Structure 1
Amino acid sequence: MDRAARIGHLGELAETMIGYVENKTTFQGKDTMTVPAASYCDEKVYRQEIDRVFKRLPLMLAFTAELPNAGDYKAMDAVGMPVLITRDKDGTVRAFLNVCSHRGAPVAEDGHGNCSRFVCKYHAWTYGRDGRLIGINDQKSFGEVDKAARGLKQLPCEERHGLIFVSLDPEGSIDLDGYFRGYLDDFKDLGFADWHFIGSREIHGANWKIAFDGYLEGYHFQSLHPETIFPRTPSNTMHYEGYGPSMRIGFPQHEIGNLLKEVPREEWGTRENYGYDFVRILFPNVSIFVAPEITQVAQLFPGPTPDKNRTVLNYLCREAPRDDEEAEKLEQMVNFFRDVTYEEDYVIGLQIQKGLESGAHDELIFGKNERGNQYFHEWLNWYMTGDPSAPEPVM
C-alpha cells in the first residue's frame, strides 16, 4: 500500500470513528474472553513469557534519534540481558551482548554515549564499534588469544523508519516485513527517523500484562481519567486494526465530527490529533502515542519477579527545542505524561495485582468492547504454545 492509499484508509477509519461517537458505539468482538488470573502471578508462566516471547521476537529497543551519529551507542538492560547498540562509522547499527569475552564484565555503562572503541573497565580489553576484539591488555604476559573468535556476541538487529529492533537470541533472526506486515510504514509517513529524542523516565508497576492491558482500551477513560484523558476522548469508543500481532488503535475525540467536517473529506486521513488519535501497539510490549507537541513511547518489560514490571517511557518530538524556554516546556510535558501514566494507571495496576494474588476470582473477563485486549492475549497464547501450524488470531 502506497502513502496515498494509506491516507485514504485512515480517512475511512476517521469516518468510522465519527459514526462511533454519533451513535455511541464502538468496535465489537464476537464474544467475551476469559484469561486465568494465575497467568498474572505464576512463576512458570512468567519464565515462559520471557523465554518464548521476549527472547525470541524482535523487540523495539532504541530509536534512530538516540543514535544519530557515527560512534553513538546505547547500553541497556532488556529482561535481564545486557544489550549494547552501536552505530558504526558507515552508519550501520549493530547490537551485541554487553559482555566482555574475557571475564564477563560490561564494556559500556548503561546509558548513551559516543566513542570509537569500548574498553572493559575490569582488565581493559578493547573492542571496536563493530564488536571485534582489537586489544588485549599486556597480551605478552596473558598468552595467545584468537581475537577473531573473542569478539562481542552479536545479536540480530535491524533499523527501520526511525526504530531499532533487536532479537535477544544470538542464533535467531529478524524478519520485520513478515512480522509487522506493512505496519511500520506508518513511521515512514511520520518521518520518525528525523525526530528528536528528548529523554526517558522509568517507572515500575505490577505484572507487565496488567500494565499493558491498560494501554489497549479506552473503556476506563471516564472512570479512571476524568480530568486528564476523558475531557478530550470519550470513554469506551475505540477502533482496532491488527497487523500480525501488532495493532493500531483509533480513539476519536469528542469533537471529531465538528473538527473533520471543517476540512475536505480527502484530507481526513491526514488529521491525526485533530479529531482523532492513534495508539500504535508493537507486540509484545510497546505502546506509542503521537501528539503534536510530544510523543510518548512506552516499553514494558517483565520485572525481576512475576508481580513486577519495569517500564521505560521515552519522549520524542518532531524538532529539537529552539531555546531553553521551549526545552523547559517539553520537560514539563514529559513529567505530566509520566505522572498521569504512573499515578492513574500504574497505581491501580498494583491494586489489581494484589487482588489477583488474593485468589478472589479464578479468571478475568474481557468484554466484546475490549477487543484489543483479547487480540493481545490471543497472540500471546499463540506464541506461548509454540505451534506455528496453529491458526493465527484474526482481528
Structure 2
Amino acid sequence: MRVTLTYAAAMDRALEIDVTTQLLDLMASPSMAVGDEMTELPVAVYTDPDRFAREQQHLFAGLPLLAGLSGELPAPGDWKLFEPPGTSLLLVRGDDGVVRGFRNACRHRGAPVVEEPSGSNRSFTCPYHSWTYNRSGELVGVPQAETFPGLCRETRGLAAVSVTERAGTLWVLPTSQGEPFDLDTHLGPFDAELRRWNLGDLHYFDRRVHRIAANWKLAVDTFTEGYHIPNLHQNTINMFAANGLLLANSFGRHHRQAVAMRCLTDSTEGPTETWTGFDDGGIGFVYLIFPNTILLFFGDHAELFQVFPDGIDRSVTVQSLYSYDPIETEDQRIILETALDFFHEIVAMQDYRMAAGVQRLIASGANETYLLGQCEAITQSLHRDWAAATG
C-alpha cells in the first residue's frame, strides 16, 4: 500500500543522496549484515525482576524521555498527557508559547486534573472538587475558599516537572521538579541528526495504543532489524520493502536505519541532483531513540512509537502519526487514517504477536539464551546500552 501526500518540509538532501547511493550499492550486492559479531542474549533480560526494577529507576525515571513532537501542541492552551511508568504528566503550551510540564494531580486531594489524552483549554478544572489552574499551573480557583483559612495559593499550583523543547521535539525528565536537565549529554551526536528533519514543521494527526503481553524490550526489539521483514511481513511490508535490506548508523546510544524499498531504482535513473528516492517512497528511515522510542519517516508521513513497561511481562506502546503538510481536507484525513490503521494493524498482528509469543514461551524453559546475528547489530547495541545504563 502506498499513500500519497506532498512532502512540504524537504529532508536533508545531502543525507538523502548519500543514503540513496549506499542503498543502490546494497541492492546490487545484497547483504543483511550490518555488524561484525554474533552474540547470545540470556532470556532473563525479559523476566528478571531485579533488572526490571533497575530499568524503571535508571531508564524511565532517570533519563530524559522523548514525550512527543511540538506539532502535538501547536497553540497556547494545547495540552497532552504523557504517562511514563508510575506517573501521569500534563504538558501544556502556555500563553507565552512555552511548553511546561506538571504532575497531573490536583493539589487539593490528588485527583487527576485531566483524564483525556489531549485537548485545548483556557484553564484546567479538577473534576473532583473544581479546583482550577491556569495554563501556567497556578491555582486560580477554589470553590468555598473561605473553608480553607490560611490557604496560600502561590504554593498550591500544580507540581512542576522539567520540559525542554528543542528543534520540534519535547523532552521530559520524569523525576524532576522544574529544574533544567542535561539534554545535550543524553543526545550527544544525535542532536545534529534530529535537526536534519525540520520536526517543528510536522502536523499531529492521531494516535493508537497497543497493549501487549510482552516485556517492553521485546516490543522495541521488533523495530531493530530487517531480518524478519521477508518472513513475518511477507504479504505486507515486504511487498514494497526490498527484502529487509538496510543501512545502520549509530550516534552514541541512538541509532538510524535506512530501509531500501523496491521502487528506489525507479527514482534514481537520472543525474544525482534529480533523485527523489525518499519523496517517492524509495527509502524509509527508522530511528531508535534511547531508551524506548522509535521515530519513522516515510515519503508521505512520519510515525512515533513510544514504548513503556506496564509490568515485567506487559507493555504499552503509543503510536502517533504526523503529516508533513497542514491537514485541511477530508481527503487528507482519509489518507492519513488509512495509513495509521494500516501500520497499526501490521505492528499489532505481526510484530507484537511475535513478541507476545516469545514472552509466553520463555516460561516454558525452551531456551536459556537467544542468538543475535550480524543482521541484528542494533539489537545487540541497544541491549548492551540498556544493561550498562542500569548497572
Fold shared per TM-score above 0.5: yes
Counterpart amino acid of residue 19 in structure 1: D
Query: 1:348: Cα distance to partner?
Result: 1.2
Is the alpha carbon distance of 1:278 and 1:348 closer, same or farther for their aligned partners in structure 2, counting shifts above 3 Å? same
Is the 8 Å Cα contact of residues 279 and 300 (structure 2) preserved in structure 1? no
Count of residue pairs brought into register by the alignment: 380
Between stretches 164-173 and 261-270, larger displacement belongs to 261-270
TM-score, scaled relative to structure 1: 0.89
Q: Distance in 2 between matches of 1:236 and 1:72?
A: 39
Gaps of 5+ in 2: 1-9
Report the 3-state secondary structure (helix = DSSP H, G, I; strand = E; otherwise coil) of the residue aligned with 1:170.
coil
Q: Distance in 2 between matches of 1:100 and 1:158?
A: 23
Q: Distance in 2 between matches of 1:52 and 1:268?
A: 44
Is the alpha carbon distance of 1:115 and 1:276 closer, same or farther for their aligned partners in structure 2, counting shifts above 3 Å? closer
Which residue is 2:215 aligned to? 207
Query: 1:91: Cα distance to partner?
Result: 0.2
Is the alpha carbon distance of 1:263 and 1:281 closer, same or farther for their aligned partners in structure 2, counting shifts above 3 Å? farther
Is the 8 Å Cα contact of residues 209 and 317 (structure 2) preserved in structure 1? yes
Is the 8 Å Cα contact of residues 161 and 184 (structure 1) preserved in structure 2? no
- CA deviations 1:291-346 (Å, max 9, x no partner) are 2333221111111x211111111011112344223322321221111111101111
Which residue is 2:369 aligned to? 363
Counterpart amino acid of residue 213 in structure 1: D
CA RMSD of aligned residues (A): 2.3
Q: Determine whether 1:312 maps to 2:345.
A: no
Report the 3-state secondary structure (helix = DSSP H, G, I; strand = E; otherwise coil) of the residue aligned with 1:80.
coil
Aligned counterparts, 1:82-161, within 5 A? 82-161=88-167
Between stretches 63-72 and 147-156, larger displacement belongs to 147-156
Gaps of 5+ in 1: 386-395
Report the 3-state secondary structure (helix = DSSP H, G, I; strand = E; otherwise coil) of the residue aligned with 2:375.
coil
Q: Determine whether 1:377 maps to 2:368.
A: no
Is the alpha carbon distance of 1:204 and 1:291 closer, same or farther for their aligned partners in structure 2, counting shifts above 3 Å? same
Between stretches 147-156 and 347-356, larger displacement belongs to 147-156
Which residue is 1:388 aligned to? none
Q: Distance in 2 between matches of 1:323 and 1:268?
A: 29
Q: Distance in 2 between matches of 1:6 and 1:279?
A: 15
Between stretches 177-186 and 22-31, larger displacement belongs to 177-186
Q: Determine whether 1:278 maps to 2:281.
A: no
Q: 1:301 aligns with which of 305, 308, 312?
A: 308
Counterpart amino acid of residue 57 in structure 1: L
Is the 8 Å Cα contact of residues 284 and 299 (structure 2) preserved in structure 1? no
Which residue is 1:344 aligned to? 350
Query: 1:184: Cα distance to partner?
Result: 4.2
Q: Determine whether 1:55 maps to 2:61.
A: yes
Query: 1:353: Cα distance to partner?
Result: 0.7
Report the 3-state secondary structure (helix = DSSP H, G, I; strand = E; otherwise coil) of the residue aligned with 1:235.
strand
Q: Distance in 2 between matches of 1:80 and 1:253?
A: 40
- CA deviations 1:190-224 (Å, max 9, x no partner) are 33212221110111121111111010100001110
- CA deviations 1:240-295 (Å, max 9, x no partner) are 11122111111122353x33532433565974654322111211111122123332
Query: 1:178: Cα distance to partner?
Result: 2.5
Which residue is 1:221 aligned to? 229
Q: Determine whether 1:250 maps to 2:268.
A: no
Q: Determine whether 1:75 maps to 2:75.
A: no
Counterpart amino acid of residue 201 in structure 1: R
- CA deviations 1:332-379 (Å, max 9, x no partner) are 221111111101111111111111121211111211221110111111
Counterpart amino acid of residue 131 in structure 1: G
Is the 8 Å Cα contact of residues 179 and 244 (structure 1) preserved in structure 2? no
Which residue is 1:262 aligned to? 269
Is the alpha carbon distance of 1:208 and 1:272 closer, same or farther for their aligned partners in structure 2, counting shifts above 3 Å? farther
Which residue is 1:191 aligned to? 198
Counterpart amino acid of residue 265 in structure 1: T
Which residue is 1:231 aligned to? 239
Which residue is 2:181 aligned to? 174
Is the 8 Å Cα contact of residues 211 and 349 (structure 1) preserved in structure 2? yes
Q: Determine whether 1:329 maps to 2:330.
A: no
Report the 3-state secondary structure (helix = DSSP H, G, I; strand = E; otherwise coil) of the residue aligned with 2:320.
strand
Which residue is 1:391 aligned to? none
Q: 1:33 aligns with which of 32, 35, 39?
A: 39
Is the 8 Å Cα contact of residues 202 and 310 (structure 1) preserved in structure 2? yes
Is the alpha carbon distance of 1:209 and 1:162 closer, same or farther for their aligned partners in structure 2, counting shifts above 3 Å? same
Q: Distance in 1 between matches of 2:271 and 2:194?
A: 24
Q: Distance in 2 between matches of 1:360 and 1:314?
A: 36
Percentage of identical aligned residues: 28
Q: Distance in 1 between matches of 2:215 and 2:301?
A: 27
Which residue is 2:71 aligned to? 65
Is the 8 Å Cα contact of residues 221 and 236 (structure 1) preserved in structure 2? yes
